[in-house]
Structure formats: structure tokens, C-alpha cells
């Protein structure tokens, strides 16, 4: 019974972390596409948008590991 409670707690923590990783991954993939567009077109706006999305994606992934900030809609 004790081990079952411990495993339930681990499951709950993993469920809290999952949305941060999901959204972080999506933003990082979009940032990669925008970086490719920026390289092909030479537009700085696409590069800056790519950098901004990559930064937000990294922050979300880091928050998924540490659960530092609770964001509304993600938990």
C-alpha cells in the first residue's frame, strides 16, 4: 500500500509536468522552422521570432523539470 501511494504521487507529478514539455516541444519545433525560413529568406524578423519562440520553449521545458511557476491553463 505504501509503495502504491508513492507511485501515485510520482504519477501526479509526471501529469503536472507533461503539458510544459508538450508546449515547449511545439514552440521549439516552430522556432526551428522559422530559423530555416530566416536563413532562406534573409529576413531578420523571422530570426527574431524564432529566437523568441525558442527562448519561451526552453523556459517551458525548464519549468517542466522544476515546476517553478504554475501557469494557468497548463495544470
Report pTM.
0.84
Domains in the chain: how many in total? 1
For 70, the 3-state DSSP assignment is coil
- 33 occurs within a structural domain: yes
Residue 61 structural domain:
2-66
Report the alpha-carbon distance of residue 50 to residue 3 in Å, rounded.
Answer: 44
Task: Quote the pLDDT of residue 33.
Answer: 96
- 23 occurs within a structural domain: yes
How large is the average pLDDT for residues 42-49? Answer: 93
Report the alpha-carbon distance of residue 71 to residue 75 in Å, rounded.
Answer: 7
**How many helical (H) and strand (E) elements, i.e. helices and strands, does the chain have?**
2, 0
Which cell numbers in the block locate residue 64? 517542466
Task: Quote the pLDDT of residue 75.
Answer: 75
Amino acid at each position: 500500500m505504501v509503495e502504491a501511494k508513492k507511485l501515485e504521487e510520482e504519477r501526479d507529478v509526471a501529469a503536472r509536468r507533461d503539458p510544459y514539455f508538450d508546449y515547449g516541444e511545439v514552440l521549439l519545433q516552430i522556432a526551428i522552422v522559422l530559423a530555416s525560413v530566416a536563413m532562406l529568406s534573409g529576413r531578420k524578423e523571422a530570426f527574431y521570432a524564432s529566437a523568441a519562440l525558442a527562448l519561451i520553449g526552453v523556459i517551458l521545458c525548464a519549468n517542466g523539470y522544476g515546476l517553478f511557476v504554475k501557469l494557468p491553463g497548463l495544470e
